[in-house]
Amino acid sequence: MAILVTGGAGYIGSHTAAALLERGEEVVVLDNLQTGHRQAADGCTHFYEGDIRDEALLDRIFGSHEIDAVIHFAANSLVQESMTDPGKYYHNNVYGTLCLLERMRANGVKRIVFSSTAAVYGEPERVPIEETDKTEPANAYGETKLAMERMIRWFDAAHGIQNVSLRYFNAAGAHESGRIGEDHAPETHLVPIVLQAALGKRPHVAIFGDDYPTADGTCIRDYIHVSDLADAHLLAVDRLRRGEGSAVYNLGSGRGYSVREIIEQARRETGRDIPVVVQPRRAGDPAVLVASSERAKRELGWNPRRSDIGTIIRTAWAWHTAHPEGYGDR
């Protein structure tokens, strides 16, 4: 049996495809390369360049491979862009997922692992955040991801499409081989931006606000190694294959680091100077986001073993020093 990975040339998708291949799964990747990189999916023998909204293509893929599960990453994921162009997010994310689910139903594919996000919670009521906490997204991106989660659940109720939604906190780090890593254009995420500054590719890191109600005034986030995230997808597929039913899991390390702590850690790991400039707050940033991942540990047997901040920065730095231009395709 094969697993279809939509968005398998993206950051988390490519690390998950690599983990699937490492355990001997047959992997089929579908990616429109809008934000993904062809090289990131180099190890995958079955690669389709195309869009999840192309229903004829989906039928062709389902007709050509014995697919028993889909891992669905393909989506737009920039918070700020989602606020200025929500239509793009509803079209690609929500309508795209509808197309995928319809073609799964028509082709009798009954398992889906869905790439969701901590952004479904919005401003948290308490930390650490648990899966049962209220979901009230503060931006259009989170709103579309929550709509996708809910749509998938209705397809379960009506058509028996069993699903696991994985709500990621802050993905960071790179594959231990140094072969694949994080390359967004434009880059908006803290860890790659800090390492680009360490490489001298940026003059400084802008700290977005140092007047938050935290110990050093900067925002606290829960950073989780991308390969630990990848592992959780494999465990989620296993759960669905065992027929244990649908579920939602937070994926985080359970430990928060401030923006200043990340920069300090990067200075230690790289031995480089990293200049900072304090700027105004970025709209929509909650002060503290930290996950409780007890449910994933308990029910999936998930063990995030690479998510100490040293390993995250070290693996990300290895990727950045080996690929100063990223994949070099933009």
User: Rounded to 5 degrees, what are φ and ψ at 314?
Assistant: -65, -45
Which parts of 251-270 interact with ligand UDP (CB under 6 A)? Answer: 259
Query: Residues 160 to 179: which contact ligand UDP by CB under 6 A?
Result: 170
List the one residue from 189, 272, 295, 297 that touches ligand UDP (CB under 6 A).
Answer: 189
Q: Which residues pair with 71 in a beta bridge?
A: 5, 113
- Residue closer to ligand UDP by CB (options 121, 302) is 121
User: Which among 32-40, 42-50, 160-168, 185-193 is the span making contact with ligand UDP, rule CB under 6 A?
Assistant: 185-193
Measure the CA dihedral 101/102/108/109, to 10°: -20
CB nearer to ligand UDP: pick between 1 and 283: 283
User: Would you state the structure tokens that stand for residue 133, as one six-digit string?
Assistant: 């906490």
Residue 93 CB, shortest distance to ligand UDP, in Å, is: 16
Residue choice 150, 241, 282, 330 for contact with ligand UDP (CB under 6 A): 282
Return the closest-CA partner of residue 104 out of 240, 250, 300, 232.
240
Q: Could you say which of 22, 33, 65, 208 contacts ligand UDP (CB under 6 A)? A: 208
Which of 11, 89, 121, 141 is an active site residue?
Answer: 141
Give the N- to C-terminal CA distance of the chain in Å, as an integer. Answer: 34
Q: How far apart are CA 152 and CA 132, in angstroms?
A: 18
Distance CA 291, CA 304 (A): 13
Which residue in 97, 99, 227, 75 sits closest to 163, CA to CA? 97
Pick out residues in 102-121 that bind ligand UDP (CB under 6 A): none
- How many residues touch ligand UDP under the rule CB under 6 A: the total is 14
Token pair 């979901």: residue: 135
Distance CA(73)–CA(296), nearest Å, equals 19
| CB nearer ligand UDP, residue 13 or residue 69 | 13
Stretch that binds ligand UDP, among 47-55, 147-155, 182-190, 293-301 (CB under 6 A): 182-190
141 counts as catalytic: yes
Among 19, 75, 101, 193, binds ligand UDP (CB under 6 A): 193
Question: Of these, 219, 224, 230, 309, which contacts ligand UDP (CB under 6 A)?
Answer: 219
Write down the least CB distance from residue 318 to ligand UDP, Å.
Answer: 19
DSSP of 67-136: EEEEEE--S---HHHHHH-HHHHIIIIIIHHHHHHHHHHHTT--EEEEEEEGGGT-S-SSSSB-TTS---
**Toward ligand UDP, which CB reaches closer, 107 or 196?**
196
Catalytic positions, written as ranges: 141
Which residues contact ligand UDP (rule: CB under 6 A)? 170, 188-190, 193, 205-208, 219, 221, 259, 282, 285
